[in-house]
Amino acid sequence: MRLGRDDVQWTLGRLHAHNAGMAVTLSLWQRCVLALQALLFPRYWLAVIVEEPLRVVFNSDNREVTVDGAARRVHAGEKSLATFEAIQSIDVVHHPRKGEEGKPEHWSVSLYLGRSSRAYIGRSRKQADATKAAALLATITGKTVRTVEALAHPSVINTRT
């Protein structure tokens, strides 16, 4: 199949299909690119695979998380992570670099469910990827986004107001 100029277009750095057949081809292509990215950069990446008005699918470190606006729940595979009603906020946590041989600087996205309970969405070395994921989550769930700074131990966080 040869792609014509009218079949696809680039919008804000993403490839969009103009028909259903091309959408399937692009989805398969995006999954292949993500698998290759996972092989070359095995950790700390977060990507949007599907972006629809009531549904978003994220892939982070080869783990898919689906936000389903119709069912009002977030799940990873068959496991339910949270209902929209249980979500108190969406947190973007900045994790500074840990020493020379430690973890690199990265940002994680999680759902704060209250009483120190969180549902992990994903992490990325790029702040833009994490904030985009949080914005998409906020759009579908209607919850607010908080910026959080990790200070020391992962259980100790400082919320920015």
pLDDT at res. 97: 81
Q: What Å distances lie between residue 13 and 9, 10, 16, 64, CA to CA?
A: 10, 6, 10, 21
DSSP for residue 71: T
User: Could you give the CA distance from residue 143 to residue 57 in angstroms, rounded to a whole number?
Assistant: 17
Domain span holding position 105: 43-159
Per-residue pLDDT of 91-129, as tens digits, reads 999 988 877 666 778 999 999 999 889 999 999 989 999
Together in a domain, 74 and 153: yes
**Distance (Å, rounded) from C-alpha 63 to C-alpha 49?**
11
Are residues 86 and 53 part of one domain?
yes
> Are 48 and 114 within one domain?
yes
Token reading at 31: 């999954």
Instruction: Quote the CA–CA distance of 61 and 146 in Å, as a whole number.
Output: 23
